[in-house]
Amino acid sequence: MDASAGVLGRPADDALAHPLFEGLGVDRAASPAAVVIFGASGDLTSRKLMPALQALASRGQLSPGTAIVGVGRTDLGDEGFRRQMRQAVEAAGGRRPGGKVDEQAWAQLEEGFRYVAGGYDDLATYKRLGEVLEDLDRDHGTAGNRLHYLSTPPGVFSAVVHQLGAAGLHHPARGGQFCRVVIEKPFGRDLDSARRLDHELHEVLEEDQIYRIDHYLGKETVQNVLALRFANTIFEPVWSRQYVDSVQITVAESEGVGHRAGFYEQAGALRDIVQNHLLQVLALTVMEPPASMSPTGIRNEKVKALDAVDVLEPHEVLSDTVRAQYGGGWLGGEDVPGYLEEDGVAPDSRTETYLAMRLRVDNWRWAGVPFYLRTGKRLPKRVTEVALEFSRVPHLPFAPTQAVQLGPNALVLRIQPDEGITLRFGAKVPGQAFDVRTVSMDFSYGAAFLEEAPEAYERLLLDALLGDPTLFIRTDEVEQAWRIAQPLLETWAEKPVLPVPYEAGTWGPVEADRLLEADGRRWRQP
């Protein structure tokens, strides 16, 4: 257990040195520690983790006593690991202005690189790891602190944690303050497997040691949902059923499955995006104001929000969800293959690459407001947004011909890629006639702030080193999210139906349009 933990194994909120909305300044610097990456030869380490660690080192937010230990089945050796990580940082542009590697920071970081090869279920691997960590404590000043990052296939999460326990590496070494374990998604494949994995992890670890990561929560604009709501008088009063007609949350991707077909065949859109990213954004959108911006305060309200989401009955799964799979089509001027034509995909696959659903949040604030969620691959553009569409005015005093171009008011939070906020409202068209149409007022992060926003993994890795769990997912959050997703899995298993097709480069199948048309609404076109 972390030495800084409060009663009942929960982090002591007043021990955290910074509030949620404080920027990533140099005052947020981590203590010395050994960062152990399981799956170090994999894609995530090269694309995200190593560039993020290099960026933190460049900003002076990693202690000189930080070491990075790679663990993997591929036998790279220390020098091979250093070369591979250097290539990864160069490919990422160094994550600094000019796109070059900060050589001074890299030289400091590189001194603490070590690599341990071996199987994840082999105790000998962990004994060698323990010897390396002891050497780093003595020679590099890692001070007995440990951050284990599980960037492995989910099937070995439990094995890694149990072997850490068997080797005595699940707690800080003598003199150390913390030992934490970061676990990548997916956390289970369904409600039962998530509960089973949670039980297996808690056989070795305390809850305050487990950091379940969802990189979406590290995005600045996802966190800005909280700032927009709870720092502005003008928005919070209208953030409810009294003024909001409906809410749409979209996570669209223009890419296909690419080289992830093996994973995606086992996951699909529900497990890959909806159960984690989409439901986390939903929770931030509908949660009540916390008493404080402490980790416990925020995560308690997120759990309450997910608990208020009505679980769909089997007949509602069939009527209120649309499961689809992309076919071939044109996207960005390129003829792209359908999902069944992708390498590694079974020719009779029923895996969904698109999912739209209508949910209800059964509480005082949101009763009666439909929430429309959708995600899909091979859609026209990569975009993530939350759109609140407000109710129409009770009486429009203009002639119908004067308001032909007037749509409903809307507040749109653009999470990626054009991060910002758009407010849509009615205004008079210049001229002699009195015509009203919808106009937009835009806020852009890029134009308003000169400083570069940190990448999601930079924020989350630093938070894990600092012991701030605010943006990580608690065990009861995981269970609530699977509670919402489970009826879809069960209904699809009991009543196997082929996903409906949609053409690549479109916004999805016509059945998804009909889902909203039945309510007298339609999807936004971002």
In tens, the pLDDT along 181-219 reads: 999 988 999 999 999 999 999 999 999 999 999 888 888
Tell me whether residue 460 is in a domain: no
Mean pLDDT computed over every residue of the chain: 88
Cα 500 to Cα 502: distance, rounded to the nearest angstrom = 7
Cα 463 to Cα 473: distance, rounded to the nearest angstrom = 13
Tell me whether residue 2 is in a domain: no
Same domain, 231 and 206: no
Provide the pLDDT for residue 501: 96
Provide the pLDDT for residue 495: 83
Same domain, 203 and 246: no
Same domain, 203 and 252: no
Whether residue 6 is predicted with pLDDT greater than 80 in this model: the reply is no
Boundary (domain end) residue, out of 212, 230, 264: 212
Tell me whether residue 332 is in a domain: yes
CATH number at residue 304: 3.30.360.10
Cα 361 to Cα 94: distance, rounded to the nearest angstrom = 43
Same domain, 301 and 444: yes
Q: What is the pLDDT of residues 55-108, one digit of tens each?
A: 999 888 999 999 999 999 988 899 999 999 998 898 887 555 556 788 888 888
Query: What's the structural domain count of the chain?
Result: 2
Same domain, 72 and 41: yes
Chain-centroid distance, C-alpha 151: 15
Same domain, 155 and 260: no
Same domain, 185 and 112: yes
Band of pLDDT at residue 489, cut at 50, 70 and 90: very high
Is the bond into 295 cis (omega within 30 degrees of 0)?
A: no
Whether residue 254 is predicted with pLDDT greater than 70 in this model: the reply is yes
Same domain, 58 and 200: yes
Tell me whether residue 247 is in a domain: yes
Residues in Cβ contact with 367 at an 8 Å cutoff, skipping those fewer than 6 apart: 241, 361
CATH number at residue 33: 3.40.50.720
Boundary (domain end) residue, out of 171, 195, 212: 212
Whether residue 361 is predicted with pLDDT greater than 60 in this model: the reply is yes
Same domain, 16 and 105: yes
Tell me whether residue 522 is in a domain: no
Tell me whether residue 524 is in a domain: no
Q: What is the pLDDT of residues 268-311, one digit of tens each?
A: 999 999 999 999 999 999 999 998 888 899 999 999 999 999 99
Amino acid letter, 400: P
Residues in Cβ contact with 365 at an 8 Å cutoff, skipping those fewer than 6 apart: 239, 240, 241, 286, 288
Q: Give residue 101's domain range.
A: 7-212
Residues in Cβ contact with 213 at an 8 Å cutoff, skipping those fewer than 6 apart: 182, 183, 184, 185, 460, 464, 472, 473
Whether residue 15 is predicted with pLDDT greater than 50 in this model: the reply is no
Same domain, 145 and 248: no
Same domain, 386 and 505: yes
> Would you call 181 exposed, middle or buried from its count of C-beta atoms within 10 A (0-12, 13-18, 19+)?
buried
Whether residue 247 is predicted with pLDDT greater than 90 in this model: the reply is yes
Residues in Cβ contact with 303 at an 8 Å cutoff, skipping those fewer than 6 apart: 474, 476, 477, 480
Beta-sheet pairing, 370-376 with 354-360: antiparallel
Provide the pLDDT for residue 271: 93
Provide the pLDDT for residue 238: 92
Question: Quick one: tokens of 454?
Answer: 């940190």
Residue bearing the bigger pLDDT, 323 or 25:
323
Q: In the predicted model, what is the mean pLDDT of residues 505-521?
A: 95
Q: What is the pLDDT of residues 421-480, one digit of tens each?
A: 999 877 777 877 787 777 889 888 878 877 777 888 999 999 999 999 999 999 999 999
Tell me whether residue 38 is in a domain: yes
Q: Which residues are annotated as catalytic?
A: 277
Angle between helices 77-91 and 103-110 in degrees, nearest 10: 150
Tell me the pTM: 0.88
Cα 310 to Cα 483: distance, rounded to the nearest angstrom = 10
Q: In the predicted model, what is the mean pLDDT of residues 507-517?
A: 96
Boundary (domain end) residue, out of 171, 193, 212: 212
Amino acid letter, 244: V
Same domain, 122 and 41: yes
Tell me whether residue 294 is in a domain: yes
